[in-house]
Amino acid sequence: PKPARLFPAPGGATVELLDAEEGVSPGQACVFYDGDRVLGGGWIQRD
């Protein structure tokens, strides 16, 4: 798990990771949790 900020927008959202992360690629899943509970997610796309 990585701390991040979520910026919702119509038709999608932008996620800003608070710590550097290597190897994030389009097509991977981005999933949000509160403990063990899944809050939501989506697929990573290029800007």
Please write the tens of the pLDDT for every residue from 1-47.
Answer: 889 999 999 988 999 999 988 889 999 999 999 999 999 999 999 87
Domain count, the chain: 1
Q: What pLDDT, on the 0 to 100 scale, is given for residue 47?
A: 72
What is each CA distance from 21 to 1, 2, 24, in whole angstroms? 11, 9, 7
Alpha-carbon gap, residue 17 to 11, rounded angstroms: 20
* Predicted TM-score (pTM) of this structure: 0.73
Q: What local confidence, expressed as pLDDT, does residue 46 receive?
A: 85
Look up the domain containing 34 and give its range: 4-44
